[in-house]
Amino acid sequence: MSDTETKQNNVKIVCWKWADLDIKILAELSARVREQEGLGKYTAQQMERHLKTMNERFPIEVVILAFHDNQLVGWMGIERATKSIGNVGRWQPFVDFNTNRERVARILISNAIDYAISNDMTRVEVGFGGISEENLATFDTRKSWYEAEGWKKIEDTNFMVKDLLEYALKITPSNAEYKIRPMTDYENDEIFECYHETFTTSDARWIYDMTKEQRRQEFDKTFDRSRNINQEASLVIESDSKIVAFILIVTRSDDEEHLEFMGVHPKYRRRGLAKILLAKSTEVLQGRNAKTLTLGVDPMNVPAVQLYEQFGFEAISRIVRFSWKASDT
């Protein structure tokens, strides 16, 4: 049963809960559209398994579907990332080529905003990962849909990969005042101050796009200890009983570890602490026979890019995120 149903410009919009939906129809449309757009070739069965797996990792709160002449022509889903922040699935919406794609896409995105407003979300994000020459035209199309509905770009980073089977620098602190400890030795409240000071004194556009409350919500979600955080490789540097730097590594699969966040308190920058953390985490991962370490970095952050290149990271694609936020936030 649908929660809501409206009709706009001969397009019927229906909102469903994931559990009430036959996802086969989503899988068939998604597989067809993704292949046409250069996002990968999948059978409907493979796409159905993919959608189920993704929903297990990022549970969808609502699926918004567009129908024309009783045929599904487009869909997108929204996950509630935090109390007030929603996330749209990557590369969504998926819209059939046998329709007015821009019109249907913008109707879907507009209804996503309406859903957010009606369900206490004051911010919604969408991300596009793996952007390359092969799918750049598809990204440009998606970008135009969101920008036409008032969404703003908040992140444009390079996705970098390091083969952990290769040599990595080994560096240890030269100053005895710095102590490297497991992140799990500390409560999140102890880490948050360094996290907040790190990114509110940087060029990280995404954090300035959030309210103070949303910053804390995002932090609590990211550093949630129930996530698949690599406890051995996630570390902090302490000085005078205060956390002054940190690195968060998350295990994404048997083959991939991901550097989700690394930060140095502004008062302790240019002392080589980021290099020390990265060297130690890499050493730990290599000792556990991990295969690859990935990360995202703003190409305008030249010192960070140079650091990662020094450690053998190579940029292979782009990641871009957009956000909508309520006018009163």
Q: Kindly write down the DSSP assignment for every residue of 165-214, as one continuous string.
A: TS-------SSTT-EEEEGGGS-HHHHHHHHHHHHHTS--HHHHTS-HHH
Amino acid of residue 178: Y
Nearest to 88 by CA among 46, 142, 138, 42: 142
Listed residue (97, 117, 119) closest to 17, CA to CA: 119
Note the pLDDT tens digit of each residue in 14-45. 999 998 888 999 999 999 999 999 998 999 99
Q: Which residue among 150, 172, 195 closes a domain?
A: 150
Q: What confidence score (pLDDT) does residue 1 get?
A: 36
Same domain, 81 and 207: no
Q: What's the number of domains the chain is made of?
A: 2
Across the chain, the runs of DSSP E, i.e. the strands, are 4-8, 11-16, 60-68, 71-80, 85-88, 94-95, 123-131, 152-163, 179-182, 235-239, 242-251, 256-264, 292-297, 314-325
- Report how far residue 309's alpha carbon sits from residue 1's, in angstroms, rounded to the nearest whole number: 52
**To the nearest whole percent, how much of the chain has pLDDT over 90?**
80
Give per-residue pLDDT as tens, 197-221.
999 998 888 888 899 999 999 999 9
CA 266 to chain centre: 25
Which residue has 């000792």 as its token pair?
Answer: 287
Residue 69 scores a pLDDT above 80: yes
111 lies in the same domain as 191: no
Closest CA relative to residue 210, chosen from 288, 259, 263, 154: 154
107-122: per-residue pLDDT in tens? 999 999 999 999 999 9
User: How many C-beta atoms surround the C-beta of residue 71 within 10 A?
Assistant: 12
The pLDDT, as a whole number, for residue 246 is 98
- Same domain, yes or no: 8 and 146: yes
Pairing of strands 85-88, 60-68: unpaired
| Same domain, residue pair 114 and 168 | no
327 lies in some domain = no
**Tens digit of each residue's pLDDT (9 = 90 or more) over 155-192:** 999 999 999 988 766 776 667 789 999 999 999 999 99
Q: Show which of 98, 118, 150 is a domain's final residue.
A: 150
In this prediction the pTM is 0.85
Is 155 a domain residue?
A: no
- Among 88, 123, 150, give the residue marking a domain's end: 150
What is the domain range of residue 69?
4-150
